[in-house]
Structure 1
């Protein structure tokens, strides 16, 4: 190539001169690196008059050669070449960021605890802001975007009905089979509806509905709001004086709270239907199953499960929205937000379920 980099040695009155010509780019720097540094030792100057182009790698090579030959060894550089050299020289002279100090294990545990505490405080503050926005909306209902609420009700609820029915039926079938195996040893298969019914109504119905909501809707909330945050659309709303909590968060939280009892009830009914089908295979008619359920399961069990479902919906929707609004920058921000929403939602409903279990036991419910 006509502009291929070349290295030539010549003598002048001041001593040995290293003359470079052509395009000094990354490929040329790799080829000339060792030879130029070797020839630069003891040279009076490095002539750049014939250099036609220079990139940052080539500039790094020339500055390294100058350090070997001595200050001021680079001469006759054209304006474009001199500009690249000045930029790279300034970048190399800039102070390097200090490496993060290595902390002892106890300090690492303490830092993790402090970060967890700050995250918990931020979550509580976000939940308080959501509740405050909801109370203000009661005074001014016009702040709520009803069309958005209906859209989220459809996406979080109606479109999740087939999945809830499928999981409910499978859960009822599995529970009935697994319960019948040990009870058959005592001839007590007739009590399978009692066990499955109370499990679905009080625990598994709301819990599995919460898992569905966290996997489908919580991640969707985090992805949508995370994309808006990365694209600075949320910041633009704040600049225009529009409250993102009322515009973006409140419809999603209300939708999560409203659809969770419906999903829980639908999943529970589907599970009872699956259990009844298995009991039919064992030779128990539907009337026997219904009688066992009516004699053992009370309305308080159903209402207790639905109350838990409402709280689960609030927690899942709030965690998903907070993960989206707190998304960072970069290509992984949205994915990390969605992952955090799913994990946080599932952990939250398990913790809340334990709290409800203790509370119900203390209250005698």
Structure 2
């Protein structure tokens, strides 16, 4: 077999700032590696304005050789010069065309600190906007399906609804009652310690009753449901999404919202007001325990609570729970259906469900406070 010529180069200077680089032999991986560094070193030292690259005697050229030619062009461009490649064979020219800058997907240039901060803020704002629109759209879809279910009750999966009501409501009575008792106890104790200086311990009952009925009772119960059931909804639907069970329902012609989401939504909306009542009851019991330690008769305490908390306070607080329940179930199910792939996908969905649910509850509670203020409730 005839030996082929090894890759060589010769750099010659011409008149003015011109130079000629002649390449010969095989510009493959081995040949290119042997002349890359010395050739580049001489080019950087010479820095010609006009460089002519003669490649007519190149026998073979692959990607390594094309990389060498493009590196020569880059060095010339960086130094303010120009490189002209001559006598390149047609088959090598076609290969080089594939490596032209128009065909390359180059990494973006790094941004400066200010531009990077603006970029991150923009991405965060855009993500927040699209996430908000997705939540609103999903809750709207749920409401439409719920209205259809009211006209066609047979389409509702009653067994799943009762099961979800048991998990979200009955099983949460203990923790809800405990939190209500502790909140009432702590709030009454802190208030009584301050009001004792003015001899106004009796008004602690008014303060605790109004706070529990209007704000703390519905809010604390909703936070418990979001942390407990919202994450459970997201984990259940997320696991089904990862196992492609949701896709199987769609393939069978079943609507995932009707089949999976509505039972959880109805259970959450129905159970949250009941849990709130338990929370309020045990909160008042906790406050009563503190009041008895301050020698306030139980009858007097009950009378003060009944006078302080009006029917409007009770109805206004319970009205919030229906909205809170809708937000908790809707966001939890949405995060579950948005679950991606990977070992941490389900956990991420559960975390996002809790965080988004808590934020939505607090925002909705603030809106209720403003509306109640202007309505005089």
TM-score, length-normalised on structure 1?
0.74
2:195 matched residue in structure 1 = 183
- Give me the whole-angstrom Cα distance separating, in 1, the residues matched to 2:105 and 2:232: 37
Flag the 1:275–1:123 CA change in 2: closer, same or farther, 3 A. Answer: same
Q: Residue by residue, what CA displacement relative to the aligned partner does 1:264-314 show, whole Å, maximum 9, x if unpaired?
A: 110111010010011111111100100111111111111111110111011
Q: What is the CA distance between 1:362 and its match in structure 2?
A: 0.6
Flag the 1:114–1:198 CA change in 2: closer, same or farther, 3 A. Answer: same
- Give me the whole-angstrom Cα distance separating, in 1, the residues matched to 2:291 and 2:200: 12
1:49 matched residue in structure 2 = none
Instruction: Give 2:132's match in structure 1, choosing from 115, 120, 126.
Output: 120
- Structure 2 counterparts to residues 95-244 of structure 1, below 5 A: 98-99=106-107, 102=110, 104=115, 105-244=117-256
Instruction: Give 1:256's match in structure 2, choosing from 258, 264, 268.
Output: 268
- Give me the whole-angstrom Cα distance separating, in 1, the residues matched to 2:289 and 2:277: 18
Q: What is the CA distance between 1:329 and its match in structure 2?
A: 1.2
**SS in structure 2 opposite 1:331?**
coil
Q: Residue by residue, what CA displacement relative to the aligned partner does 1:33-55 show, whole Å, maximum 9, x if unpaired?
A: xxxxxxxxxxx9xxxxxxxxxxx
Q: What is the CA distance between 1:327 and its match in structure 2?
A: 0.9
- Give me the whole-angstrom Cα distance separating, in 2, the residues matched to 1:100 and 1:256: 47
**SS in structure 2 opposite 1:242?**
coil
Q: Residue by residue, what CA displacement relative to the aligned partner does 1:213-240 show, whole Å, maximum 9, x if unpaired?
A: 0111000000000111111111121121
2:367 matched residue in structure 1 = 355
Q: Residue by residue, what CA displacement relative to the aligned partner does 1:40-80 show, whole Å, maximum 9, x if unpaired?
A: xxxx9xxxxxxxxxxxxxxxxxx9779748989xxxxxxxx
Flag the 1:96–1:252 CA change in 2: closer, same or farther, 3 A. Answer: farther
Q: Which runs of 5+ in 1 are unaligned?
A: 1-11, 16-43, 45-62, 73-92
2:287 matched residue in structure 1 = 275
Q: Residue by residue, what CA displacement relative to the aligned partner does 1:79-136 show, whole Å, maximum 9, x if unpaired?
A: xxxxxxxxxxxxxx9x986435545232332232222111111111101100011011
- Give me the whole-angstrom Cα distance separating, in 1, the residues matched to 2:31 and 2:143: 66
Flag the 1:64–1:148 CA change in 2: closer, same or farther, 3 A. Answer: farther
Flag the 1:214–1:100 CA change in 2: closer, same or farther, 3 A. Answer: farther
**SS in structure 2 opposite 1:185?**
helix
Flag the 1:214–1:116 CA change in 2: closer, same or farther, 3 A. Answer: same
**Which has the higher Rg, Structure 1 or Structure 2?**
2
2:353 matched residue in structure 1 = 341
Q: Which runs of 5+ in 2 are unaligned?
A: 5-25, 36-59, 62-98
**SS in structure 2 opposite 1:330?**
coil
Q: Residue by residue, what CA displacement relative to the aligned partner does 1:179-206 show, whole Å, maximum 9, x if unpaired?
A: 0111011000000010001100110000
- Give me the whole-angstrom Cα distance separating, in 2, the residues matched to 1:96 and 1:163: 60
- Give me the whole-angstrom Cα distance separating, in 2, the residues matched to 1:204 and 1:227: 33
- Give me the whole-angstrom Cα distance separating, in 2, the residues matched to 1:235 and 1:138: 26
2:338 matched residue in structure 1 = 326
- Give me the whole-angstrom Cα distance separating, in 2, the residues matched to 1:362 and 1:352: 16
Q: What is the CA distance between 1:210 and its match in structure 2?
A: 0.7
Q: What is the CA distance between 1:143 and its match in structure 2?
A: 1.2
Further displaced range: 95-104 or 173-182: 95-104
TM-score, length-normalised on structure 2?
0.72
- Give me the whole-angstrom Cα distance separating, in 1, the residues matched to 2:104 and 2:267: 50
Flag the 1:326–1:184 CA change in 2: closer, same or farther, 3 A. Answer: same
- Give me the whole-angstrom Cα distance separating, in 1, the residues matched to 2:107 and 2:202: 68
